[in-house]
Amino acid sequence: MGICENRTVIITGAGGGLGRAYALTFAAEGAQVVVNDIRLDAALAVCEEIRGQGGKALANAGDITNMASAEAIVAAACAEFGEVHVLVNNAGICRDRMFASLTESDWDDVMRVHLKGHFCLANVLARRWRDAAKAGNQIDARIINTSSGAGLQGSIGQSNYAAAKAGIAALTLVQAAELGRYGITANALAPAARTGMTEQVFGEMMKKPGGADFDYFDPANVAPLVVWLGSAESRQVTGRMFEAAGGLISLAEGWHTGAARDKGSRWLPAEVGAAVAELLEEGRPAQKVYGA
């Protein structure tokens, strides 16, 4: 028996790349999988793979950036499988340009798919799970969000994407703090893998190796962590950010209050420079921005 037996998971952007790897691995661990992707043909193909291996899957092409559509996605999942236990927010897009060259649509498109796309389904399900918990039902639900190294450290040429992914990291912290009382955990990961998006930027670095060499950037390498986070085994883990690539799993550390100076009264502008110099000397520098 797999670790996700009889659990239903909705995975967005599951027609290829990381989402497809998650869907196949969840199904192999006994989950019933809703394969959501705007490309219905891609979602259907993944469902056929899952069914060919004896699993259960439902293809769905609903818009994750629209609340009415999100309600319909959840309703379809419940009609097919009875309940939803796990949401994996995976879908995303890139509109990469240097900051001064970004257009309004470049910004809005990325925020809509990443940030609003992380909001709609999670909000629909959070309300459903909260109401069920208040009615006395035992809830053991999971929200798994997708941030990025760009969101944790920044990335040259990706200010819109980095800002959205940083927003997702903060969203995860708040979800975990607010929803834990209802039996809902919220975690996020920053994966590094070969996908349709990353191949546009890191194609040469992430290309598949020849021969029997370990394929470090194979999306399937990230899937075990995501599936474990979606299982009942992870119920004590919430509000965490993981980084995953190849055989590596690491725990990302967020902003903390660091070096400090308290004068005990209002600073004069002329005094601030010396205090900041001391703080910078004592403080831990941020990791380098990707591409810097």
CATH number, domain with residue 195:
3.40.50.720
Q: What is the pTM of this model?
A: 0.92
Segment 238-266 mean pLDDT: 94
Q: Domain total for the chain? A: 1
Do the domain assignments include residue 259? no
**What does the buried/exposed string (b/e) look like for 92-129 if buried means 16 or more CB atoms within 10 Å of the residue's CB?**
bebbbeeeeebeeebbebbbbbbbbbbbbbbebbbebb
Do the domain assignments include residue 222? yes
- pLDDT-based confidence at 291, cuts 50/70/90? confident
Helix, strand, coil percentages for the chain (3-state, nearest 5):
50, 15, 35
For this structure, is 22 an active site residue? no
CA angle 65–70–74, rounded 5-degree value: 150
Catalytic residue among 155, 161, 231, 234: 161
pLDDT at 212: 66
For this structure, is 148 an active site residue? yes
Residue 198: which domain range? 8-251
Strands 241-245 vs 141-146: parallel, antiparallel or unpaired? unpaired
Do the domain assignments include residue 288? no
Maximum Cα–Cα distance across the chain: 71
pLDDT at 202: 52
DSSP letter at 101?
Answer: G
For this structure, is 165 an active site residue? yes
Catalytic residue among 165, 231, 234, 290: 165
Catalytic residue among 22, 147, 148, 155: 148
Q: What is the pLDDT of residues 203-244, one digit of tens each?
A: 555 566 666 676 888 999 999 999 999 999 999 999 999 999
CA gap 239, 2 in Å, rounded: 25
